[in-house]
């Protein structure tokens, strides 16, 4: 059983560990070696009814840990440098995004696939850094060369943080016709499915290009912590109806509901309601709308429809994760 430690007890730690029932439950199966923090050393914290003394790096003497997870995003590079100076090895140091992969019950089935060749739709995504570091190759798909979230630049390849991962495809997620059947050991997509008007058509394509026993990973936002919090969850039956009716990506059926229920105060970049509405009517060109709002039931029904065995369902502060095997 791996021994793990955490560095940083700030907001990210509070959100993603202390207040995350899924993570706390999974951590019961791991050995927590201790906690480090520059500003909060000397205090006691409680995790799963166990009490721990928080130490500074100067006080930290037990290096017998397999992994140290940096919970801070803002000071991630600074903390990593400090850990290296105090004797920790590069392979011991992980980011908070990578914690989930350690906790998954089915890593023995997931890991061999994500170490091979995969495809990401709508990336790159920080939550998949664990996979980028381990996969043999990863191709990418985006609907155009210049999106709100990503710009292709001069290369025809899929690049993340100056690392060339694989080939870049410019295509709609609902039409991956340039990619042959069963091309990849894994397919993944983060905070992308909600932007697709016909998500089942997209998942059908993900399924098609996935090899037998391949792994599909989909991450979607939890409405409770974003500007969709006043909207109703989309029932699976609605997705199925759109799929059977061949709804296209220029569909704006949900626009009136979105305009009414959108929390503009939580979406500062949209520039207010007037600019949001103007952008929304041009959604086919920018793909910023959240057409659908997903919950656990809908996601599981979606995977079951395509005969994907659900291996994991996880809930973080901001997202739902669902992982299935073809």
Q: What are the structural domain ranges in the chain? A: 3-98, 104-326
The helix-helix angle for 296-305 and 199-209 (nearest 10°) equals 50
State which fold the 104-326 domain adopts.
Answer: Rossmann fold (3.40.50)
Average confidence score pLDDT of the chain: 93
Q: Is the pLDDT of residue 116 over 80?
A: yes
CA dihedral of residues 198, 217, 299, 192 (deg, nearest 10): -40
The fold for domain 3-98 equals Rossmann fold (3.40.50)
Instruction: Look at residues 122, 196, 194, 186 and name the one whose alpha carbon lies nearest to residue 160.
Output: 122
pLDDT of residue 160: 85
| pTM score of the predicted model | 0.92
| Predicted local distance difference test score (pLDDT) of residue 63 | 64
- Mean pLDDT value of segment 68-76: 89
214 near 116, Cβ under 8 Å?
no
Tens-digit pLDDT profile for residues 243-275: 999 999 999 999 999 999 999 999 999 999 999
User: Is the confidence at residue 152, as pLDDT, over 90?
Assistant: no
pLDDT at 61 over 80: no
Count of other CB atoms within 10 angstroms of residue 260 = 9
Residues 207/215, Cβ–Cβ less than 8 Å: no
Answer yes or no: same fold for 3-98 and 104-326.
Answer: yes
**pLDDT interval class at 38 (50, 70, 90):** confident
Non-local (6+) Cβ contacts of 156 within 8 A are 167, 168
pLDDT in tens, 266-318: 999 999 999 999 999 999 999 999 999 999 999 999 999 999 999 999 999 89
Helices first, then strands: H and E counts in the chain: 12, 14
Q: 58-72, 138-152, 211-225 — which is least confidently predicted?
A: 58-72
């Amino acid at each position: 059983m791996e021994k793990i430690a955490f560095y940083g007890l700030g907001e990210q730690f509070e959100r993603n560990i202390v207040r995350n029932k899924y993570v706390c439950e999974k951590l019961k199966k791991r050995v927590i070696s201790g906690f480090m923090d520059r500003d909060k050393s000397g205090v006691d914290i409680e995790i799963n009814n166990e009490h721990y003394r928080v130490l500074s790096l100067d006080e930290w003497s037990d290096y017998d840990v397999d992994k140290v997870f940096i919970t801070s995003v803002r000071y991630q590079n600074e903390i990593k440098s400090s850990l290296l100076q105090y004797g920790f090895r590069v392979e011991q140091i992980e980011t908070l995004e990578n914690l989930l992969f350690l906790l998954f019950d089915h890593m023995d089935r997931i890991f061999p696939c994500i170490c091979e060749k995969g495809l990401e739709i709508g990336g790159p995504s920080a939550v998949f850094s664990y996979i980028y570091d381990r996969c043999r190759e990863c191709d990418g798909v985006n609907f155009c060369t210049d999106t709100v979230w990503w710009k292709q630049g001069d290369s025809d390849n899929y690049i993340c943080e100056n690392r060339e991962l694989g080939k870049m495809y410019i295509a709609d997620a609902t039409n991956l016709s340039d990619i042959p059947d069963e091309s990849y050991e894994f397919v993944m997509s983060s905070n992308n499915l909600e932007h697709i008007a016909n998500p089942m058509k997209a998942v059908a394509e993900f399924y098609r290009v996935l090899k037998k026993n391949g792994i599909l990973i989909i991450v979607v936002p939890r409405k409770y912590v974003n500007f969709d919090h006043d909207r109703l969850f989309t029932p699976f039956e609605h997705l199925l109806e759109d799929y059977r009716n061949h709804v296209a990506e220029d569909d704006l059926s949900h626009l009136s509901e979105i305009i009414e229920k959108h929390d503009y105060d939580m979406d500062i970049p949209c520039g207010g309601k007037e600019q949001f509405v103007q952008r929304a009517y041009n959604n086919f060109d920018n793909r910023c709308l959240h057409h659908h709002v997903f919950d656990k039931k809908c996601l599981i029904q979606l995977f079951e429809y395509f005969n994907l065995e659900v291996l994991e369902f996880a809930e973080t502060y901001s997202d739902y994760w669902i992982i299935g095997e073809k």
